[in-house]
Structure 1
Amino acid sequence: MKNKNIIYFDGVCGLCNSFVRLLLKIDKKYKLKFTTLQGKTGQELLKKIHLHQSDFDTVIFQKNEQVYTRSTAVFEIFKTVGGFWNFFLIFKILPTSFTDHIYRQVAKRRFNLFGKLDQCDISMFNKPGQFID
């Protein structure tokens, strides 16, 4: 999928679903597309980038042919959306090892803190044109 900005997220994660809702709200120019890591497209990418096909503890951002994970993915997503959200890029001055550590700690506790859905229902996002697979 060349020239696409695709966000791969854990479809059953409450935090991930909230993040997608936020992005749908702030992406006024429809720059982003979304798919779940559990879906066909997500599984194909996980295999391609050599991540375990049940490794859903990271958001993945594919910008054209470049693939970003964890905190780097979040920074690149905000950079792509632009505007006020570029403010968060200030945290890129921190070492990636540190920001990824924070990301991993939140990811490890995300179900306890934000809940887990039985399954992902993309119809709840009410933006069918922005979802793949």
Structure 2
Amino acid sequence: MTNALQEALKHQPILLFDGECGFCNKSVQFFLNREKPSKKMHFAPLESEIGKALKAYFEIDEKIDSIILIRDHSAFIKSCAALRMTQYMNGLWPLLSIFVIIPPFLRNVVYDFIAKRRRKIIGRVKTCELINMEDKKRFLSL
């Protein structure tokens, strides 16, 4: 295990996202705007070196380009990640985590429907949107 990977694992929870996807970048912005004051979440694009290293460490197929939440030394993918992310959000968002009782193969039908169309919805981006300096420190690859 490399030093960079060991260092990244100290920053859990970590959200890996498609850094080239406009919808994914907007989703990260949406999360940042609704995150609890503790601001525990860290972020890394899937395409980054640390994103690739984390996927390899957790033995996640290279072809997976969905969000991945790394928490408590476990990796959650697709709807499992999205629902668990809500626990780090303000307001009523954490109530959505109740849907983890629905089997993932059913939840992921909805997730996959949106994921297949995400680049058509907003398109691709070349750089992340502007983020404040405090939040920028939580991006492991910027």
Q: Specify if TM > 0.5.
A: yes
TM-score, length-scaled by structure 2: 0.81
Q: Per the alignment, in what secondary structure is the counterpart of residue 35 of structure 1?
A: strand
In terms of fraction of residues, the more helix-rich structure is: 1
Alignment partners' CA distance in 1, 2:138 and 2:127: 15
Counting matched residue pairs gives: 130
Instruction: Please provide the CA RMSD for this pair.
Output: 1.8
Alignment partners' CA distance in 1, 2:102 and 2:90: 20
Alignment partners' CA distance in 2, 1:2 and 1:63: 10
Distance 1:54 1:120, change over 3 A: farther
Deviations 1:58-100 (A, max 9, x none): 1000013011000000111112336421121233332211111
Q: Unaligned stretches of 5+ in structure 1?
A: none
1:30 aligns with 2:39: yes
- Structure 1 residue corresponding to 2:57, chosen from 48, 56, 71: 48
Distance 1:94 1:55, change over 3 A: closer
| Residues 3, 64 of structure 1: 8 Å contact kept | no
* 2:17 alignment counterpart: 9
Alignment partners' CA distance in 1, 2:127 and 2:76: 22
Alignment partners' CA distance in 2, 1:68 and 1:90: 16
Distance 1:53 1:93, change over 3 A: closer
TM-score, length-scaled by structure 1: 0.86
Q: Per the alignment, in what secondary structure is the counterpart of residue 11 of structure 1?
A: coil
* 1:78 alignment counterpart: 86
* 2:6 alignment counterpart: none
- Structure 2 residue corresponding to 1:125, chosen from 122, 131, 135: 131
Q: Per the alignment, in what secondary structure is the counterpart of residue 125 of structure 1?
A: coil
* 2:73 alignment counterpart: 65
Kindly report structure 1 stretches of 4+ aligned residues shifted beyond 6 Å: none
Alignment partners' CA distance in 2, 1:52 and 1:95: 21
User: What is the percent sequence identity of the aligned residues?
Assistant: 25
